[in-house]
Amino acid sequence: MSVRPFTEPKFSLLSVHFSAVGKTRNLVLLKLGCGSGYRISELLALRVPDVWTGTEVARELTIARRNLKGGRGAYHRSVRGRWVPIAEPVREAIREPLAKVGSDNPDRALFSTTQVHGEPMDRSAVFRVLTESCRRCGIDTTRISTHSLRKTFVGRIYKASNHDLIATQRIVGHTSPATTARYLETDSAQPDLLMLAVAA
């Protein structure tokens, strides 16, 4: 069973929830995950200096090759670092937690645990945050996982590109458009409507 992305109303519900309970770290995780398309392992590898120039939140973000999928494997030389611009709403969300934790520790993880100062969360902790928050917001947790963040981004890009599969593939860094297509959930009635429109 494939992972389900967040719809925009559900994304808004989670954003409001994290803001209301003061969970700024979780809000940044949600916004950056759904706004950059980075995989969860790539997000958790981020350190404060990756998003902080020393005076302001960076306007672009680069994940080093070693932290990308396949960046440490046998074919790591074929993997390139991935650069993305940071949208202003995401930059705004990052400012508050940086103001709270400070930016003078270059080793501090952007998404650090509350138990161990400066150490990054792990994938299971992010999964618990997402599913528990979904339950509190009345969102069905079936097929929700850490990968829901990336799938949400792919769906947003596909929609913004006017359903251009190739452009979406290039933006999200897939090697094949077939991989990108698997990320996109289609309403079961949509193919029938398209065929009827062509037939008419």
Structural domains of the chain ordered from first start = 8-146 (1.10.443.10)
Average pLDDT for 93-118: 74
Q: What is the largest CA-CA distance in the chain?
A: 64
- For residues 43 and 88, what is the distance between their CA atoms, to the nearest angstrom? 18
The confidence score (pLDDT) of residue 51 equals 87
> Are the CB atoms for 62 and 100 separated by under 8 Å?
no
pTM value is 0.82
Cα 118 → chain centroid: 21
pLDDT of 108: 83
| Residue 53, both tokens | 């120039």
| CA 185 to mean position of chain CA atoms | 17
CA 76 vs. chain centroid, Å, equals: 23
Cα(27)–Cα(15) distance, integer angstroms = 6
CA distance 113 to 71: 25
Can you give the pLDDT at residue 78?
Answer: 46
What's residue 189's pLDDT? 44
Among residues 94, 116, 88, the alpha carbon closest in space to that of 43 is found at 94
Average pLDDT, integer, range 91-98: 82
The answer to whether residue 76 scores a pLDDT higher than 60 is: no
pLDDT of residue 79: 46
Question: Two tokens at 159?
Answer: 């929609």
* Lowest mean per-residue pLDDT among 51-55, 91-95, 144-148: 51-55
